[in-house]
Structure 1
Amino acid sequence: MKIAISVPDAVFQAAERHAQRSQKSRSQLYAEAVAEYLHRHAPDDVTEAMNRVIDQVGTAPDPFVQAAAQSVLARVEW
Structure 2
Amino acid sequence: MKTAVSIPDDLFVSAEKTAKKLGIPRSQLFALALEEFIQNHSNESITDSLNKVYTKSTKETETLASSLSVATLRRSLKNDTW
TM-score tier, shorter chain, comes to 0.5 to 0.7
Q: Counterpart in 2 of 1:14? A: 14
Q: Write the distance in 2 (CA, Å) between the matches of 1:26 and 1:19.
A: 5
- 5 Å-filtered alignment, 1:1-78, equals 1-42=1-42, 43-44=44-45, 46=46
How many pairs align?
47
Counterpart Cα distance in 2 of 1:4 and 1:10: 17
- C-alpha RMSD over aligned residues: 1.5
Q: Which is helix-richer, 1 or 2?
A: 2
The TM-score with structure 2 as length reference comes to 0.53
Could you say which residue in structure 1 is the equivalent of 2:66?
A: none
1:35 Cα offset (Å): 0.2
SS of alignment partner, residue 17 of structure 2: helix
Unaligned runs of 5+ in 1: 51-78
After TM superposition, the score normalised by the length of structure 1 is: 0.55
Q: Cα deviations across residues 7-55 of structure 1 (Å, max 9, x unaligned)?
A: 00000000000000100101110000000000001134x45xx9xxxxx
**Stretches of 4+ moved more than 4 A in 1?**
none
Q: Which runs of 5+ in 2 are unaligned?
A: 51-82
Structure 2: distance between partners of 1:26 and 1:13: 11
Larger Rg: 2
- Match for 2:12: what amino acid? F
